[in-house]
Each structure stands twice: as structure tokens, then as C-alpha cells.
A and B are shown apart, each in its own frame.
Chain A
Amino acid sequence: MRGFCKVLLAAALFVASTGLAQARDQVKIVGSSTVFPFSSFVAEELGATGKFKTPVVESTGSGGGHKLFGAGMGENTPDIANSSRRMKRSEFERAEQNGVTDISEALIGFDGIVIAQNKDDAPLKLTLEQLALATIAEVPKDGKLVPNPYTSWDQISPDLPKRPIVIYGPPTSSGTRDAFEELVIEKVAHKLGSYEKGYKKVRQDSAYVPAGENDNLIVQKLAKDKNAVGIFGYSFLEENQDTIQAATIDGVTPSLDTIAQGTYPISRSLYFYVKNAHYDKIPGLKEYVELFMSERMIGDKGALKRIGLVPLPADVREKARQKVLNRVKLTKDELQ
């Protein structure tokens, strides 16, 4: 018993002694689950090639990230918040109240979603509304919402091909799905009117098959099944252009240019926010931000493109880079 207690005491002392907290020597990042893969990729790159500890990246969601980020200054708060949308004015005001006044904004790229089909199919020319009607859970009929009755594309509009609707799309857990719901279904439902505000339900019958996003399975299905249509991130289309082709949306073909210019409708910008005052305190923060904004990462041939980030146009990229590297302070008036 005595010996055992001594061991235990030693363990407790060990716990207490390593509790000796020195200054944090590791960058802390929180925020969006969509930016998470890119952010942790850069973090790993920094840790593997530099002299710094690998930053800790936590996926808390954009809102959760801004909450932690704006909770105050100092070692116990994150240095960077990733965000799949722009910071909200309310979030900025809250941060300001808590003493987080000197923030820089970094625009890192786009998240684009494409609709694709077999290379040999006749080109599919959709409008955003038609796409929404093919995927939405319910459609308005005689002033009421009824379960989506469309089973064939030509039922939605006569100029569409006479093909059954079979869509392989992202599962609910994916960021692509969130973006799709927001940018397609919610937008159209809002325009059509007869839906409640913020309606964004995707149909759950056999016409929409949830399938993993970064997955060869969708491409294999599309290669085999000429009726099938797939929904996935833009980078994946580019990797597989020998087997699949993209549908045009409102007459725009998805490409790096159209996504970057915003003419292609199903895309959104990705950001991160950094506390400028932390640069002096946290080793590696400066290097992390520099690495993230470098051509090697977000450039046209950058490593992040391979895992799904659509690069910004060169001039925008340069501007965004200068903005964050020169620590340009974000002001309230820029935000909504």
C-alpha cells in the first residue's frame, strides 16, 4: 500500500510540475469545417518543413470560430479564425468589445460546386432554378408544398433531355452539401416565394443518392451510368476531365475564371482572420500566414488546389496577400 501511494504521489507531482506553463509556442486556429482541410494542410506543411511546432487546428464551425476568436486577446484565445463566409458585423463588434481590435482579413480562395455527367452525354444546360427543382424536397403546387414529383428532367422543362433524374450528391455531413443547399436550394426557394424563409431541404427519395464527396465512386458511377448526374467540388472535375463534363448553370460553364469572377453562381469565398497583435507573441504565426498566402499553397499550381481550393485570380490573390501581409486593419464599415 505504501509503495503504491508513493508511486501515485510521484505521478501527481509529475502532473503538477509539467503544469509549469510557459508561453504558448504553437499557433492556435479555430473555425469553419470547410476551411479546416486547407488550414490543417498548411499547418502540417509548416510543422514538417519549418522550425515551428505544427499549429493546432480545430474545426468548430465558422460561428464557433468567431466566438472563440473574438472572446479576447492573449494566449488562451485562438490566433486565427477560419471562415467559410465573411465575418459578420455583429461578430466584429463583439470582438471589438472584448479588445480584439486589430484584425486582418485574408481571402484565400473559392469553394466551387459543379454539376457533371458522362463525357458522352449531350451537354446539359441548366438554369439554377431547374437544378433546384430537380433536387429540392418539395415543390409548390396549387399554393401548397407537395413532395417533389419530378422523376425525369423533361418534366421540369421541356427543353431538358428526357432522362430520369439520378443525382449523386454530397451527404449531409459535408461542407459541399451545406454550400449547395445555401447557394442553390435556398436561393431558388426564396425566389419562388411559396416556401418558408430559409427553406433548403434536399429531396430524400431515390432521385438523390448521397455519396462521398472526394470520391472516385461518383466518377465511376458517372462513367457507367449515362443517366446519372454528380455534384461535387470543382477541383474534382478538373482532375477527371477525361471522363466527365460539367453542366452549364445559367449559361456559364464552371472554370477557374468563371468561379473566380463570380459569374458561375454556385461558389463562395473562403477566408481566415488573424489577430495582428499576436504576431509578436506567438512563434510561427507569421510564418504560417506567409506560407498560407504563398503561391506554393494558394497559387495556380498550389498544393491546396489538389485538395479542392479554387485559386483566386492572380491580381486578386496578390491584393489579398498584400492586405494580410501588411497587416491591414479590418474596419467595421467593410462588413455587413
Chain B
Amino acid sequence: MTLPTDPALHARRKAKERRFKTMSYAAILVAGVFLVFFFADILRQGLPALKQAEILVPIHFTQDILEYPESSLPPEYVPLVSRGVVRLFPNELHATPKLLGSTQERWVLATADVDQFLKGKPNRLKAKERRTAERLQSEGRLRLAWNIGFFTNGDSKLPEMAGVFAAAVGSVYVLLVTLAFSFPIGVMAAVYLEEFAPDNRLMQIIEVNINNLAAIPSILFGLLGLAIFIQFFGIPRSSSMVGGLTLGLMTLPVIIIATRAAIRAIPSAIREGAMALGATRWQVVWDHILPLALPGILTGTIIGLARAIGETAPLILVGMVAFIPQPAASFLEATSVLPAQIYTWASDSQRAFVERTAAGIVVLLVILLSMNALAIFLRTKYERKW
């Protein structure tokens, strides 16, 4: 090495040092800037979906609407009002026959195109319809109201009716199945490997295998779910049972690895102390190891579950990407899940679905980030340093 007394060399080295340091900070900055840009972009696209165009229309309840529900509205309103509203008029008349012959003024859902028009986005309104919409707007008969339907409706082919509720319910179902499957088995496997396993060939294979399993592409778990759960066990396609089990197999290695780490962190003095008092191996595990490792196990489990409910690829293969607008009533009924819903909306050709997709993403991200925050909270609050 050249002697550090050479001032020119020293300056050069110093400049190099500065460059290197700047680059390393820049790398973190890149990630941060991306994150800011990403969230800003998703929010920019998704937040408009919180508002929804509504229109004040006079509804004439006549006998004709049983066959042609559209005839209840003045003709110029018909192309502006959502079909999801109009198609329910006959039912309403059936339910309350005394409406017959009356006229009611009511705020109802407008079509997605009117909605997009009000928000200044590209839409498919024809020139005449646009003039009507403008006139109604100036008369105060057209407004943007809070979009509660987005959180209470299921999927729909009409963008203005589409919501995330059914998918969210499906996600909860899938989450329960995944948890009920992967948590006990994962913890049991980890306990065995850490506390009971003999040091033999089979155990080494299992060790390597668990690490490998964690790195297998998720889509291959979909092929497995299709082959084992649907074709072999005959569990219904698209059900939360099949989706949850598939994701459960995927989450298993995550939970095993986290549990093992948590168990390993417990000093052996605890075990030895308990054993010295006459506890059996299982008593040591059940009364000492598991309670102490629980925060670590839970953290790992929550992170694994958060990954599982954000997963889409394996669910495509087990039939969960489908049009399923109603929340499932049981674990064997077809259901949609949030990421699958996002995927189907993202691939829909109607532009009005773009903001729905982004809003769905916001919902999903809020759920996932709060799960992760919970994990971090558990880790910091209950983690013990030995």
C-alpha cells in the first residue's frame, strides 16, 4: 500500500470513500423513494373510488315495470342510471304493492360511465348523454357521494356495484383454514426437530427439505393443491377449504423456521432447571419452552399468514379466480379472496375497474400492513433477550 503521506493520493482515496458512502445511502434512498412513489400512485388511483356518482331520479311504479323495469324512469335518465338499481324495481313492487301508481324521488346509483365523467376520467358516455349529465349536475340532481357499497357489496359485472366484501369474507375463511392447518402442524414439527429429534440421516433430510420448501415457487403449490386436494381428495374447486389448505402447505415452512428460531433462542438453563425438578421432556416443552417461545412463534406465524393471504398464483390453479359475488356460507362453498378479486378486476377491460382495483389494493395493503405491524409490535413487546 502506498504511504498515506502522498496528499494527491489521499485526496483521491477520500473522494472514492465519499462516492462509495453516497452510493450506499443512495441505495436505501432508492428503496424509500420507490415506496413513496408506489403508495402515492396507488392512493392517487384508488382514493377516487371512495366517492361514487349518485343521481336523483323520479321513479314511476307502474304495471309495466314488471316486464320492462327501465320504463319506470324518464327516458333520458335510463342510460345514466345503474342497471343494478333498475333491475330491483320489480322486486320492490312485489314486496310493497301499494307503491303501484306512485312516483318517488330517490338518490340512486349512476352508471360507472357517469361516475367516471364526474371524476373527469375517460368514459363511454355519448354526446347526448353527456349533455344530460351536465344539465343534471347543474340542477344539483347529480352528485358524488361516499361509496359505502364498495365495502358492503360483493363482486359485480357493473363497476359501480362492485365491492370487496365477499372477497374479504373469503380471505378470512381462507386465513382460518390456513391457520388451523399450518399452525399446529408447523409448531409440532418444529418442536420435534428442536427438542426430540435424534441426529440421523432422516432428520438432516427433513432439515434441508424444509429450507427448500420455503423457496419453491408458489405456483407449484397450486399444482400440488390441484392434484392432491381437488383431484385426489375431491374437495370442491374454488372453496376456501382447498385454497386454505394449499396456502397452509405453503406457510408451513415459514412457521417451522420461525418456531425453531424462537425455541433455539431459549437458553438451555431453562430446560435443565425444569428437568432437574423432575419434569418430563414433554412437560418441559409444554410448560416452559412453548410459553417462552410463543411471541416468536406468533410473530413468524403472522408474517407467514400475511404472505399467504396476499398470494394469488396458487389460487388461480385451484379455481379461486372466478366470478363469485356472494360471500360463502361454508368452507366448502366457492369463494373469492382479496388478491384474486384484485386480479380479476385488473384484467377486466372496463376502465372504471382500474380505480376499484387500486382501492381494493389499498384495502389489502391496510390489512397486510396492520398484520405486519402487529407482528413487529409482538416482537418488540414480548421478545426477551437472554
Q: How many A-B residue pairs have CB under 8 A?
A: 104
- B87: interface (CB < 8 Å): yes
Interface mask (A44-85 → B, CB under 8 Å = 1, otherwise 0): 110111000110111110000000100000001000000000
CB-nearest residue of chain A relative to B298? A4
User: Which of the segments B12-20, B102-110, B271-279, B329-337 contacts the partner chain?
Assistant: B329-337
Residues of chain A contacted by B237 (CB below 8 angstroms):
58, 68
Q: Given A37-B157, A56-B238, A76-B234, do A212 and B351 touch, yes or no (CB 8 Å)? A: yes
Q: CA A79 – CA B40 in complex, angstroms? A: 45
From residue 301 to 330 of chain B, which have CB atoms closer than 8 A to chain A?
319, 321-326, 330
How many chain-B residues does the 8 Å CB contact rule pick out?
46
B107–chain A nearest beta-carbon distance, Å: 19
Residues of chain A contacted by B290 (CB below 8 angstroms):
1
A50–chain B nearest beta-carbon distance, Å: 9
Q: Is the CB of B291 within 8 A of A1?
A: yes
Q: CA A220 – CA B330 in complex, angstroms? A: 47
Interface size class of A (residues with CB under 8 A): 35 or more
Q: CA A4 – CA B236 in complex, angstroms? A: 31
Q: Given A11-B180, A40-B323, do A56 and B83 touch, yes or no (CB 8 Å)? A: no
Residues of chain B contacted by A49 (CB below 8 angstroms):
87-88, 90-91
B interface secondary structure, majority = loop
Q: CA A239 – CA B126 in complex, angstroms? A: 8
Q: Given A15-B176, A56-B322, A215-B349, do A239 and B124 touch, yes or no (CB 8 Å)? A: yes
Q: Is the CB of A19 within 8 A of B90?
A: no
- A336: interface (CB < 8 Å): no
Residues of chain B contacted by A15 (CB below 8 angstroms):
176-177, 180, 331
Q: CA A41 – CA B91 in complex, angstroms? A: 18
Q: Is the CB of A56 within 8 A of B349?
A: no
A235–chain B nearest beta-carbon distance, Å: 11
Q: CA A41 – CA B234 in complex, angstroms? A: 29
CB-nearest residue of chain B relative to A53? B326
Q: CA A56 – CA B176 in complex, angstroms? A: 22
From residue 202 to 232 of chain A, which have CB atoms closer than 8 A to chain B?
212-217, 220
Residues of chain B contacted by A19 (CB below 8 angstroms):
241, 330-332
- B127: interface (CB < 8 Å): yes
Q: Is the CB of A57 within 8 A of B87?
A: no
Given contacts A15-B177, A217-B122, 10 further A-B contacts (CB under 8 A): A4-B294, A11-B176, A15-B180, A19-B331, A21-B330, A21-B332, A43-B325, A44-B156, A44-B323, A57-B323
